């Protein structure tokens, strides 16, 4: 449905541009319809009737353009989920030490195999003599 409405919207936009460009220029605007009396490009209509027809066609195409714009907005908005990016964030659990079951930062007091760590009798840095 969205694609059909999008094609209609595009065709109406192109037709609207064409109709606006065909209108008679009153003051150096972009109109290319020009127009003298009853001859030329508008041989079937008088210049007043052609202007009236183009004005009505512009109004109708403008209304259809706005309605299709609103329709596209409604159709596209119905597909979206009204959620925030913050709703998608999953909380991260703090990293814990699984060997002792605590969340302490300090290393465990027991060695890896259950024995106590070795105690040093001498300082790690020799004292100056």
Tens digits of residue pLDDT in 105-117? 655 555 566 666 6
CB 8 within 8 A of CB 75: no
CB 6 within 8 A of CB 12: no
Residue 2 tokens read as: 């969205």
Q: Which residues pair with 97 in a beta bridge?
A: 102
N- to C-terminal Cα distance for the chain?
A: 92
CB 116 within 8 A of CB 110: yes
Question: pTM for this one?
Answer: 0.49
Tens digits of residue pLDDT in 23-35? 877 655 555 555 5
């Amino acid at each position: 449905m969205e694609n059909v409405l999008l094609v209609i919207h595009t065709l109406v936009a192109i037709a609207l541009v064409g109709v606006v460009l065909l209108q008679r220029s009153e003051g150096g605007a972009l109109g290319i319809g020009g127009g003298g009396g009853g001859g030329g490009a508008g041989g079937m209509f008088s210049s007043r009737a052609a202007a009236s027809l183009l004005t009505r066609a512009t109004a109708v195409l403008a209304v259809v353009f706005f309605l299709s714009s609103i329709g596209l907005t409604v159709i596209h908005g119905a597909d979206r989920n009204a959620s925030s990016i913050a709703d998608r964030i999953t909380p991260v659990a703090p990293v814990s030490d699984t060997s002792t079951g605590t969340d302490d930062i300090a290393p465990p007091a027991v060695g890896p195999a259950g024995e106590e760590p070795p105690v040093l009798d001498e300082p790690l840095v020799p004292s100056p003599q």
